[in-house]
Structure 1
Amino acid sequence: MRIAAPIEIGPLDADAQQAVRDLAAAAEAHDGVAPLSEQPLLNLGTDAEWITHVVAHTKAGSTIGYVQVDRSGETASAELVIHPEHRRNGHGRMLLKTAERDATLPSRSGEPGQHGKHLRVWAHGDLESARGFACAAGLRAVRELLFLTRPLAPAGSPAEPPEPPEAPAGYHLRTFQPGADDAAWLRVNARAFATHPEQGRMTLDDLRARQSESWFDAEGFFLLFPDDAPGGADDVDPAAFLWTKTEPDQPDGTRDGEIYVLGVDPDHQGKGLGRLLTAVGLAHLERTGATRAVLYVEGDNTPALATYERAGFTRAAVHVQYARP
């Protein structure tokens, strides 16, 4: 007889947050892919109306399952993880049902963060076990996020990295200045990702949270400005931007550098700025010693996929979002 583990719903204290990180690490070691993406990990300490944390425990108090429901967008999004030693005992179904009830309860006001929303659930790596779980629960794939990779020749290797390309006529390139460029970057990011369910909703708090992470490096965050923009420097928004990310403490000789975000203002699209900034990012990652460039891109973003394929990227994995029909 299967007995569902007791669950706890509510904010996570420091110990509970660490227990979830340890749970995610155990699942990653077993599955070969991280079960929780960056934003849910950043949200572990968040206590707000738009987010719900649900933890499953053993009777002894060990954390064996976790689901986070984010209702800040038009649809609710969830990420779920069960400890490898406690799978196939109904804990995943229990957490999924809890998440669905949390997302779909009738909304009281219709304000952001309220309930009454359709739920989508991420399956990172689209593992066979996750596909089986989704099928048994009556869910179907509704979105794909592709993980692309490309080998690099880092500084000091026989093939020296190339010099970064110059900005095209009418534009100038410089690195991001924290504090001074925050508002301008948020504006162009919102325009560039107006239809994206996560990136387009980035707030100043989200930006500051990333700036406080150990991997943040303003020297790997590039802004491309039009030369003829009116107003002073503080009044000009970038035409495009490229943000890279390299996690610290990676083993020598196997360093991944990420094309973290690349965005082009709609008014400046069609001018090859995406190709230019991709080349800028790859040159920067090579100079910093990365041996492989990685990135995530929506499976239906045909223009971006074409840009990255021309730059030498190939598909390495896929992350899938599931929902009820």
Structure 2
Amino acid sequence: MAIEVARALPAADVAAVRDLAARVAAADGEAAFDEQSLLNLGGGRPVRHLIVRGGPEGPDGGGPVPILGYAQVADGSGELAVDPAARRRGIGGALLDAVLDGLDGLDGLDTPDGADGLHGPEDVRVWAHGDLAPARALAATRGLGVVRDLWVMTAPAPTVPEPTKVPSQSEPTSAVDGVRVRTFEPGSDEQAWLTVNARAFADHPEQGRMTRADLEARMAQPWFDGRLFWLAEDVNSGRTLGSMWVKISDRVGEIYVLGVDPDAQGRGIGGLLTAHAMAAFAARDLTGLELYVEGENAPAIAVYERAGFHRARAHVQYARTGSH
């Protein structure tokens, strides 16, 4: 089976991969790729794109389907998807093997192992979104085990704001002594946010690596609303202690990023910022709430559970036995 490998995709292939992702999501009820992978389609990060193409006619005879399978490898992590109408043909297995084996032997590779976002076979991990049975079965055939568990927590949309719990953003103090909360100011607060985010997520393989370009790419998305992005600051020094970033899409409110500086943890800042988010959600006509959190992050899970969230499903990351 021919697998094309590329460092960058032309616009037509970017559109084709997005179409593939939409077909997979419609069939599986789960997104095929995470947000960063979709942003990577347009460039900006060193990644490898793996493509399996079909013939002039689609697998169901209904028209051209230029891409039947796609995988992406970046920062030692991979994702892959196969067109629902082209499954059970070995495409998924071939892409998975190429990802796990470091793409050895495929055309177009002239970069040393570990460069250009590609790690060696012992390092590569593969995401399975939704922890679906077909993905578990494929992983089992390759001797892969779960090495990471990312929870999706959901809650009903709040309907009544609780102003007594959320101070005015113009007030210098709040429910946490010596802390004020204000909205993020584009053009002024990027570095402050990057600093506290890096500290809060120092051990996180994705969030802790966020760059200025990553931040700006997200701020350029249609869903970005600066009114739903808060910083918690020390009243005296002005130092940023934590942040809450909220995303609203298709009437679903998401706690997108909540981070607290390790030196400021235990002061109730996470709960304070969550209260701001919940009040903002209550002021909008939403159908529900969601967030993502590492399954082993007990302190964060406790904050979210107190806010009414519960575990709904999970995304898991697989790796070869002994590679974690």
Which residue of 2 is the match for residue 291 of structure 1? Answer: 287
Which residue of 2 is the match for residue 212 of structure 1? Answer: 220
Structure 1 residues 103 and 184 mapped into 2: Cα distance closer, same or farther (>3 Å)? farther
Q: Distance in 2 between matches of 1:104 and 1:147?
A: 34
Which residue of 2 is the match for residue 165 of structure 1? Answer: 166
Q: Distance in 2 between matches of 1:228 and 1:109?
A: 48
**SS of 2:203 mapped into structure 1:** coil
- Aligned partner of 2:22 among 16, 20, 25: 25
Question: Any conservation in 1 of the 2:154–2:310 contact (CA below 8 Å)?
Answer: yes
Q: Could you list the runs of 5+ residues in structure 1 that have no partner in the other structure?
A: 155-159, 230-235
Asked if 1:153 corresponds to 2:153, the answer is: no
Question: Any conservation in 2 of the 1:282–1:293 contact (CA below 8 Å)?
Answer: no
Structure 1 residues 109 and 315 mapped into 2: Cα distance closer, same or farther (>3 Å)? closer
* More off after superposition, 284-293 vs 103-112: 103-112
1:54-94, Cα deviation, whole Å (9 max, x unpaired): 111112262110000002xxxx1001000111111110111
Question: Any conservation in 1 of the 2:260–2:270 contact (CA below 8 Å)?
Answer: yes
Q: Distance in 2 between matches of 1:38 and 1:311?
A: 25
1:278-303, Cα deviation, whole Å (9 max, x unpaired): 11111111213223111000000011
Runs of 4+ in 1 over 6 A off after TM superposition: 103-107, 109-112
Which residue of 2 is the match for residue 157 of structure 1? Answer: none
1:9-38, Cα deviation, whole Å (9 max, x unpaired): 112111100100110110111100101010
1:150-203, Cα deviation, whole Å (9 max, x unpaired): 11234xxxxx32225122221111100111000110001000000001000000
Q: Distance in 1 between matches of 2:86 and 2:260?
A: 45
Asked if 1:137 corresponds to 2:142, the answer is: yes
Structure 1 residues 205 and 275 mapped into 2: Cα distance closer, same or farther (>3 Å)? same
Which residue of 2 is the match for residue 69 of structure 1? Answer: 73
Structure 1 residues 19 and 114 mapped into 2: Cα distance closer, same or farther (>3 Å)? closer
Aligned-CA RMSD value: 1.9
1:83-111, Cα deviation, whole Å (9 max, x unpaired): 11111111011111221233689984866
Question: Any conservation in 2 of the 1:221–1:243 contact (CA below 8 Å)?
Answer: yes
User: What is the Cα deviation at residue 115 of structure 1?
Assistant: 3.5
Q: Which amino acid aligns with 1:90?
A: G
Q: Distance in 2 between matches of 1:36 and 1:295?
A: 16
* Alignment map for 1:1-325 (pairs within 5 Å): 4=1, 6-10=2-6, 11-46=8-43, 50-60=46-56, 62-71=66-75, 76-102=76-102, 108=112, 113=117, 115-116=119-120, 118-154=123-159, 160-163=160-163, 165-166=166-167, 167=174, 168-229=176-237, 236-247=238-249, 250=250, 255-325=251-321
Q: Which amino acid aligns with 1:152?
A: A
Q: How many residues of Structure 1 are paired with residues of Structure 2 in the alignment?
A: 299
Question: Any conservation in 1 of the 2:155–2:289 contact (CA below 8 Å)?
Answer: yes
Q: Distance in 2 between matches of 1:258 and 1:212?
A: 17
**SS of 2:102 mapped into structure 1:** helix
Q: Which amino acid aligns with 1:245?
A: K
Percentage identity across paired residues of the two chains? 47
TM-score by length of 2: 0.87
Q: Distance in 1 between matches of 2:232 and 2:104?
A: 42
Structure 1 residues 218 and 103 mapped into 2: Cα distance closer, same or farther (>3 Å)? farther
Question: Any conservation in 2 of the 1:104–1:118 contact (CA below 8 Å)?
Answer: no
Structure 1 residues 176 and 142 mapped into 2: Cα distance closer, same or farther (>3 Å)? same
Q: Distance in 2 between matches of 1:265 and 1:136?
A: 42
Q: Distance in 2 between matches of 1:265 and 1:143?
A: 23
